[in-house]
Amino acid sequence: MFINAIASYLPEQVVTNAYFQELNGLTDEWIVERTGIRERRKASSEENTHTMALEAAKKITESLPYDISEVDLIVGATYTPHDNIFTLGHALQHALNISEIPVVTISSACSSLLNAIEIVQGYFAMNKASKALVVVSEHNTAYNNEDDTKAGHLWGDGAAVLSISKEKAGAQNWEIKDLITGGAANVGKASEGVTLKPLHRGLIMPYGKDVFINACTYMPKVSKQVMEKNGLTVEDISFVIPHQANYRITKNVAGTLGVPDEKMISNIHYLGNTGCAGCAIAMDENKGKFEKGNKIIVTVFGGGYSYGAMLVEI
């Protein structure tokens, strides 16, 4: 299974830490020390989960190694939906005018990128699809409460699209060598650590410490699992792209894995937590840096305590 194209979109508006200092007194120094975040992007009032995804899709259609009409599966992922019925996946199908293919949109919170790719892997295994689009898009600022001094400053908006084919196609062929996902909803504060109840209090993180501890436990654990399963050690890995939640988590994951900081890819500093889109945006941003033969671990962790790791060979 190969990632044959990738594209991302970020809204123009930049919100710096100065905004939160004025709003609720959190200083730049305080935010950077605890999260690494200096600024994040915010969708305009004309934008939403769908429009951001469609902007990324426009870019990917330019680099697809086959005609868009050959796409035979779309999997969307978001926990900040614009529409739960005409979903993110449907919006992409609609905009790209692709007829009569399976379309579904998922959430396993910030870990959905890997769940979505695993669903594609399942369709490929059944021979029900061979050319899929995975679209990840988060409109965090639509659901976020900026006044929340615990987590209001963490979130940013963004989207990405990946084109994934069963066989090699075109020039960019990043092979997905392995992929493991799991859930630990029965652990710690999984049911309330970070939640988004659309009808109630929006996006909140009342138990950030518990989320932190479990993110720092499960990302290294599942990354090691995928390395061991493939006969690799940490020395074989060129880059690790962890879920882009908090730079302290990234540092902690690096420490546990024994990976030097320069191998850890991060966009948290200027994008904040872009949910399930974060790792995909980072993959797109860094594609010029990756070299043939590089082995990359993408590892995710989300509220509800889902997690996963994917081994990609460039």
Residues that bind its own copies (CB under 8 A): 74, 79-87, 89-91, 93-94, 96-110, 112, 115, 118-119, 121-123, 125-126, 128, 142-143, 181-187, 190-199, 203, 302-306
Nearest-approach distance from CB 190 to its own copies, in angstroms: 6
Nearest-approach distance from CB 91 to its own copies, in angstroms: 7
**Residue 140, CA atoms < 13 Å, CB-side half-sphere:** 31
274 and 244 Cβ atoms separated by less than 8 Å: yes
- Helix, coil or strand: residue 151: coil
Distance, in Å, from the CA atom of 104 to the CA atom of 114, rounded to the nearest integer, reads: 15
Residue 204 or 254 with smaller CB distance to its own copies: 204
All residues at 6 or more sequence positions from 65 whose CB lies less than 8 Å from its CB, including other chains: 4, 5, 163, 165, 169, 170, 171
All residues at 6 or more sequence positions from 271 whose CB lies less than 8 Å from its CB, including other chains: 10, 40, 41, 156, 158, 244, 278, 281
Nearest-approach distance from CB 259 to its own copies, in angstroms: 23
- Dihedrals φ, ψ of 201, to 5°? -100, 15
Residue 186 or 235 with smaller CB distance to its own copies: 186
227 and 234 Cβ atoms separated by less than 8 Å: yes
Nearest to 156 by CA among 248, 37, 286: 37
Q: What is the DSSP string of 230-273?
A: TT--GGG-SEEEE-SS-HHHHHHHHHHHT--GGGB---HHHH-B
Nearest-approach distance from CB 286 to its own copies, in angstroms: 27
| CA dihedral over 280, 285, 287, 289, signed as positive or negative | negative
Residue 10 or 103 with smaller CB distance to its own copies: 103
**Residue 63, CA atoms < 13 Å, CB-side half-sphere:** 19
Nearest-approach distance from CB 14 to its own copies, in angstroms: 23
Residue 96 or 264 with smaller CB distance to its own copies: 96
Nearest-approach distance from CB 307 to its own copies, in angstroms: 9
Residue 45 or 260 with smaller CB distance to its own copies: 45
Residue 154 or 265 with smaller CB distance to its own copies: 154
Nearest-approach distance from CB 292 to its own copies, in angstroms: 28
Residue 151 or 297 with smaller CB distance to its own copies: 151
